[in-house]
Each structure stands twice: as structure tokens, then as C-alpha cells.
Structure 1
Amino acid sequence: MSLFKREDREARTDRIRDDLHDIGDQGQALGRDLRDDAQDAIEEARLQSEEQYARMAAEARRRNRRFKRSANQSLNECDRYVHENPWPSIGAATLAGAVIGLLIGRR
């Protein structure tokens, strides 16, 4: 009878050992799958951020060109006005200088 108990005990021990190996193998496979999924997610996030950066850079360049064009247009209009109306321009500049001088002098 003790022979059967020993064989039964050894069989259970072997099954537990096999189950533990299976659990270890499944854990390793799960770890590999998680690593692969994480790498895929990181790559997708990198691609999305590069696309967004490219869009933002293009938008910034477009806005910069528009701002430069607007600033040049305003400067040209100001220059034209001063050439057409020199005395009112001198008066406005003098008045602005006096106001700024008074404000600075109060400090």
C-alpha cells in the first residue's frame, strides 16, 4: 500500500512540477507579448508625434510668412503716410516723445 502512495505522491509532484513549468512558460510568453505591444504603442506614438510636429511646424512657417507680409505692408503704408504728410508726422512724433518723457520723468 505504501508503494501506491509513493507513486501517487510522485505523480502529483510531477503534475505540479509540469504545471509550474507551464505557468512559467505562459508568463514568459505573456511578457514577450506585452513587450511587443508596448513597442508597437511606442512606435505609433512616435509616428503620431512626428506627424503633429510636422503639421505644427508647417503652420508656424505659414503664420510667420503671413506676419512678415502684414508687417512689411504696415511699414510701407506708414512710410508712405510720413512721406505724404511730413509735418503732421513730426508733430505726432514730438507729442509721443513728450508724453513718454513725462512718464519716464515721474519715476
Structure 2
Amino acid sequence: MANHTPRTSESTQQLKEDLHHLTQTVEELVNATADDSRSNIKELRDRAEKRLKDTRERLEARGERVYGEARDTVTQQAEACDRYVHDNPWTSIGIGAAMGVVVGMLIGRR
């Protein structure tokens, strides 16, 4: 999981930058409406719409990538557990029995 930290940090930084740019453009749009300069408002509105669209696309792409990475990690962990159980069946039975005893004791206390 340690190998995901740089990517997560990079994604977080990119998200912050995207949101900062979007916020900046919206602020410019709000300030421009105070001037009531019609050509300036249209230009800033177009920029805000483009940045909003770009940010939305990036967020969707990141969400899909993070989902894929999480799915792959879970699959790898499940495969590792399966291999362990096949390689160590008696140990696995012992662990399962111990967990059953612990859960039984916890339920019995209620």
C-alpha cells in the first residue's frame, strides 16, 4: 500500500490546483459582473464553464482510476489469502477455530 502514497499525494495536489483554478475563475466572473461589461462577462463565463468541464472530467477519471486500483488491491489480497489457505490448511483451520471460540465468547457475554 505504501506505493500508492505518492500517487494519492499527487492526485490530492492536482485536485487542490483544479479547485483553486475553478474558484479563481468563478471569483473573476463575480467581479466582472460588477463592472457590467457584457463582453468581459461572456469571456469569463466561457472560461468558467470550460474549467468546470475539465475539472469534472479529471475528477471522474481519477475516481475510475482509484476504483480500479482498489479493486486490483482487494483481488491481490484475496488471492494471497487463498494461496495461504491452500499452502497451510491446518493452520487455517486452527485460525478459524480460534476465531470461532473468540466470537462465541463475545456473543455469550451478552
Q: Do both proteins adopt the same fold according to a TM-score greater than 0.5, normalized to the shorter chain?
A: yes
Return the alpha-carbon distance in structure 2 between the equivalents of residues 38 and 86 of structure 1: 70
Gaps of 5+ in 2: 1-34
User: When the two structures are superposed, what TM-score results if normalisation uses the length of structure 1?
Assistant: 0.59
Return the alpha-carbon distance in structure 2 between the equivalents of residues 50 and 101 of structure 1: 54
CA positional deviation for 1:51:
0.7
Return the alpha-carbon distance in structure 2 between the equivalents of residues 75 and 81 of structure 1: 10
- Which residue number corresponds to residue 18 of structure 1? none
Give the number of the structure whose alpha-carbon radius of gyration is greater: 1
Return the alpha-carbon distance in structure 2 between the equivalents of residues 40 and 105 of structure 1: 70
- Structure 1 runs (4+) deviating above 6 angstroms are none
- Which residue number corresponds to residue 53 of structure 1? 56
Gaps of 5+ in 1: 1-29
User: When the two structures are superposed, what TM-score results if normalisation uses the length of structure 2?
Assistant: 0.58
Q: Does 1:41 align with 2:44?
A: yes
Return the alpha-carbon distance in structure 2 between the equivalents of residues 96 and 105 of structure 1: 14
- Which residue number corresponds to residue 76 of structure 2? 73
RMSD: 1.9
Q: How many percent identity over aligned positions?
A: 34
CA positional deviation for 1:36:
4.0
Q: How many residues align?
A: 76
